[in-house]
Amino acid sequence: MVVEFSVDGKKATGRISKLGKAGVFGYSVGEEILRLEATDFGDWVGQLHWRAVRSNDRWDSIRFVATSTQLNATMTTDDCYKNMPRAR
């Protein structure tokens, strides 16, 4: 999956721009899956819309550290969100 972010001040929203294999879990292109807010320490904290094959559907807490080349989840329930490379 590829997630595209829009940033408005200290708030960011992540939407799926390319689905990849995430369709198996019920995700769709354009779906909002990340809601984040910047902290004064340079982290982005918020929620991740998480789904499992067995219809588990919830919003989990998540924390990211952003660099110029990647977004790295330091707190998540899923390793998929660790070390996400920057596409553009």
What's the pLDDT at 25? 87
Q: Contact 43/15 with Cβ under 8 angstroms?
A: no
pLDDT above 70 covers a percentage of the chain that reads 85
Q: Is 80 left (phi over 0), alpha (psi -120 to 50) or beta?
A: alpha
Is the confidence at residue 32, as pLDDT, over 90? yes
pTM of the model: 0.80
